[in-house]
């Protein structure tokens, strides 16, 4: 049983929580209570089951801890269970004061049932033993020892919704952002929707912005998300060259037809949902002759922009173009493209995902490395100082081929997904996608600090099979998780 204390510097008193009848979608719980009955220490007690008598409560007690604050974080052992708790303290006259019984449940959904889906640990970790991993395949938060501790609740307007969850992660402000289908949501740990993308088509010119791939809350409190603009383009009959964007009312060029193709937009909103900045890939495309003249595979009609990273210190935005194996560097806020890092030309990466900027200013990304069906992993490089110079490779993080685990429905081509998150001291967290299901934490010296994959049970055969996901993310320690719990109560 894990339990930790939180310093009482929050100022505002919190209500009793979990309140009577609460139904929680997590096992790590922030208990709070009024502390006016005494200035001394308080005791929080938790028992398994629905208890109504002192005898039953004491018999089933699973936790008793003392705190000098009006809140405490504790972990209960199971989902789909009922618990009873109370708080007590000693009044100024020396008498013990006990609260009434409070009863709550931990909810159940099949996604957290370890008889159906589980995080299989191949290499256990000591250094990151108190870390947690978000799996977007089933929208569950796991401890690094493989135990589910939180799952995405069914929101009122999403009940029964089968849309895919993508890019679920903790923000620097202690909230959670995610994409649910084409909806961009920010929620608290308790599951309250705090913000959602306006999605009115202000930039796309349609009825929706078609949010996709990545949604991030910036350090300044703004929100940045990828959207989609459908742009009319001239398509040649043979389909052997990049299309040309058609002018308004333009008739098809000889031997071609006009077809609407997807181009990514980047949208920045303030906390009130007002659009404060945007950028259109179609504007860059119009100005770049290479996309109009070079004969390439028809798959490149869709550039497949799949991630971005905003670096306020550099005043730059990086965007990954998967299908052309390029990373664009865009000056912010001017929107000027100031660099195009071509992974194939440089021999650094191809069909990449999750472009990021490291603490030292280097660029890194998840390199699907699909050009020659080579081993995927994380590639880090330093941008050139002089125009015309080449990027300098710094580090690679790759699992040995023998450790790669293929997932259900694994494909042999067009590897999608993958994530990379820099941790302290040159350590990297990464998750893979088709055809591989691995997640790992690795040192810059290639030491494997943690290794796992998500597995589902085949109900027909009873066999456990690895499953792929789009992008897992990490909360590096329990203190960060607890900070998220209490920030969500403010």
Task: Among 57-66, 281-290, 481-490, name the most confident range.
Answer: 57-66
138 pLDDT more than 50: yes
- Which runs of consecutive H residues, i.e. helices, occur in 189-307? 281-286, 290-293
Calpha distance 417→430 (Å, rounded): 11
Contact assessment for residue 449 and residue 145, using Cβ atoms and an 8 Å cutoff: no
Task: Express each pLDDT in 96-129 by its tens digit.
Answer: 889 999 999 999 999 999 999 999 999 999 899 9
More confident residue, 274 or 294: 274
Nearest Cα residue to 324 out of 342, 298, 309, 346: 342
247 neighbors 208 (Cβ within 8 angstroms): no
pTM of the model: 0.91
Q: Is the model's pLDDT at 243 over the cut of 70?
A: no
pLDDT in tens, 407-443: 876 555 556 789 999 999 999 999 998 889 999 999 9
Q: Token pair 């459908």 is at which residue?
A: 230
Give the pLDDT score at 242. 62
Residue 29, pLDDT above cutoff 90: yes
More confident residue, 344 or 8: 344
Q: Which H or E run contains 358? A: none
User: String of b and e for 352-370 (b: at least 16 CB within 10 Å)?
Assistant: bbbbbbbeeebbbbbbbbb
Answer yes or no: is pLDDT of 9 > 60: no
pLDDT at 27: 98
Burial class (CB in 10 A: 0-12, 13-18, 19+), 196: middle
| Cβ–Cβ under 8 Å, residues 318 and 312 | no
Q: Quick one: pLDDT at residue 238?
A: 44
């Amino acid at each position: 049983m894990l339990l930790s204390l939180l310093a009482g510097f929050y100022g505002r008193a919190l209500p009793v929580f979990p309140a009577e009848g609460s139904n929680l979608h997590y096992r790590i719980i922030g208990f709070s209570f009024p502390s006016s009955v005494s200035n001394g220490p308080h005791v929080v007690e938790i028992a398994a089951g629905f208890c109504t008598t002192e005898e039953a409560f004491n018999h089933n007690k699973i936790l008793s801890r003392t705190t000098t604050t009006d809140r405490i974080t504790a972990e209960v052992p199971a989902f789909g269970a009922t618990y009873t708790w109370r708080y007590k303290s000693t009044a100024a006259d020396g008498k013990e004061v006990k609260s009434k019984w409070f009863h709550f449940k931990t909810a159940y959904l099949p996604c957290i049932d370890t008889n159906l889906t589980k995080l299989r640990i191949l290499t256990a970790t000591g250094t990151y033993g108190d870390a947690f991993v978000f799996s977007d395949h089933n929208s569950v938060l796991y401890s690094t020892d493989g135990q589910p501790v939180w799952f995405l609740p069914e929101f009122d307007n999403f009940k029964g919704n089968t849309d895919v969850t993508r890019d679920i992660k903790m923000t620097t402000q202690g909230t959670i952002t995610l994409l649910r289908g084409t909806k961009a949501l920010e929620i608290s740990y308790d599951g309250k929707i705090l913000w959602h993308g306006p999605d009115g088509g202000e930039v796309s010119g349609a009825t929706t912005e078609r949010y996709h791939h990545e949604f991030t809350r910036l350090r300044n409190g703004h929100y940045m998300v990828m959207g989609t603009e459908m742009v009319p383009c001239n398509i040649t009959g043979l389909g052997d060259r990049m299309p040309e964007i058609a002018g308004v009312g333009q008739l098809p060029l000889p031997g071609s037809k006009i077809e609407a193709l997807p181009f990514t937009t980047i949208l920045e909103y303030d906390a009130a949902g007002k659009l404060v900045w945007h950028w259109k890939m179609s504007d860059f495309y119009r100005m770049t002759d290479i996309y109009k003249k070079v004969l390439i595979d028809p798959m490149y009609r869709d550039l497949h922009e799949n991630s971005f990273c905003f670096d306020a210190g550099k005043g730059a935005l990086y965007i990954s173009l998967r299908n052309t194996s390029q990373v664009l560097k865009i000056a912010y806020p001017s929107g000027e493209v100031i660099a195009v890092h071509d992974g194939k030309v440089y021999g650094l990466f191809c069909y990449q995902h999750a472009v990021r900027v490291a603490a030292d200013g280097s660029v890194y990304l998840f390199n699907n490395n699909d050009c020659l069906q080579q081993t995927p992993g994380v590639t880090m490089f330093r941008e050139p100082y002089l125009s015309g110079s080449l990027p300098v490779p710094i580090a690679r993080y790759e699992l040995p081929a023998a450790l790669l685990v293929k997932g259900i429905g694994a494909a042999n081509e067009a590897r999608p997904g993958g994530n990379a998150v820099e941790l302290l001291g040159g350590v990297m967290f990464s998750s893979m996608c088709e055809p591989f299901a691995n997640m790992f934490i690795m040192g810059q010296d290639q030491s494997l600090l943690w290794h796992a994959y998500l597995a589902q049970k085949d109900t027909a055969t009873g066999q456990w099979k690895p499953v792929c996901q789009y992008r897992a993310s990490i909360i590096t320690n329990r203190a960060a998780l607890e900070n998220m719990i209490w920030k969500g109560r403010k």
